[in-house]
Amino acid sequence: MSGHSKWSTIKRKKGAADAKRGQIFTRMMREITVAAKSGGGDVEGNPRLRTAVAAAKAQNMPKDNIERAIKKGTGELEGVTYEEITYEGYGPGGVAFLIECLTDNKNRAASEIRHILTKRGGSLAKAGAVGYLFEAKGIITFEKDAVDEDTLMEAALEAGAEDVVDEGDVWEVHTSPSDFNTVNEALAEAGLEPVEAEITKQSSTTVEVTDKGEAAKIMALMEALDEADDAQNVYSNFDIDEALLADLDE
């Protein structure tokens, strides 16, 4: 397990998703607003908006919040103008990081991301340095005790999913970005409720981390980037063994 899946699992186990629900909602509302601004407020006719709304519903975001974010994007309500910026960098041990930001202040975002990287043993890289390693992928996550593997497998593959992957305490349904909404909606119609549904990015290669000190630094860097105000999504290609991760918590 590595990168996105590893970090998502860590946050679930720590309960960080619940503790930081306000931050999660803020990021999702930004994405909905930007999606509505770029492609219109029609959820069915705007794939990016449909994906953003599906992810928000998976996190139980109130309907009023979603509608308000859409109206800010279409100009029906006054709102902040966000700029999309992607930063690339390296962490301890040469681990790659891809940081997607939605910000109303480009200079502030750049300064914050650079500061976080350099303070924790990393560095900002030039555009294109690591971006080519990451590929967009739809991931729909289900708790293992909430759904039977065979039932999920049959429904997912019939809907057009690429695979169902065992990620420890959860099942991950993997899809292409273009099939994400179709598969997600089909699973919902089958009565299968995910704990998370999003289009994320996964790396084609990973960097194995075996040193405890280096692993601790990478985790600290990942957490700091994930908590940055302007950061929308943070991806990495680290691969840290479960036993080593458990050792870090002791």
Walking along the chain (250 residues) 10 residues at a time, the average pLDDT comes out as: 58 56 85 96 94 88 95 92 95 95 96 97 95 94 92 96 90 94 93 89 91 93 92 92 80
SS3 96: strand
Q: What is the pLDDT of residues 102-160, one digit of tens each?
A: 999 999 999 999 999 999 999 999 999 999 999 999 999 999 998 999 999 999 999 99
Q: Where are the alpha helices (DSSP H) in the chain?
A: 3-14, 16-19, 21-39, 47-58, 63-74, 106-119, 149-159, 180-189, 212-227, 242-248
pTM of the model: 0.86
How far, CA to CA in Å, does 168 sit from each of 1, 119, 247?
9, 32, 17
Q: Contact 79/62 with Cβ under 8 angstroms?
A: no
- The DSSP line for 114-180 is HHHHHHTT-EEE-TTSSGGGEEEEEEEEEEGGGS-HHHHHHHHHHHT-SEEEE-SSEEEEEE-GGGH
Which pair of structure tokens corresponds to residue 17? 């998703």
Non-local (6+) Cβ contacts of 63 within 8 A are none
- Set out the domains of the chain in order of their start, with CATH numbers: 16-74 (1.10.10.200), 84-132+204-248 (3.30.70.980), 133-203 (3.30.70.980)
State the pLDDT at residue 249.
72
Alpha carbon distance 53, 188 (integer Å):
14
State the pLDDT at residue 1.
43
Non-local (6+) Cβ contacts of 239 within 8 A are 1, 2, 3, 6, 206, 207, 208, 209
How far, CA to CA in Å, does 64 sit from each of 25, 194, 245?
12, 21, 39
DSSP label of 249: T
Alpha carbon distance 53, 10 (integer Å):
24
State the pLDDT at residue 198.
87
Chain center to CA of 52: 11
Identity of residue 223: E
Of 44, 203, 235, the C-alpha closest to 132 is 203
Q: Contact 83/70 with Cβ under 8 angstroms?
A: no
State the pLDDT at residue 169.
82
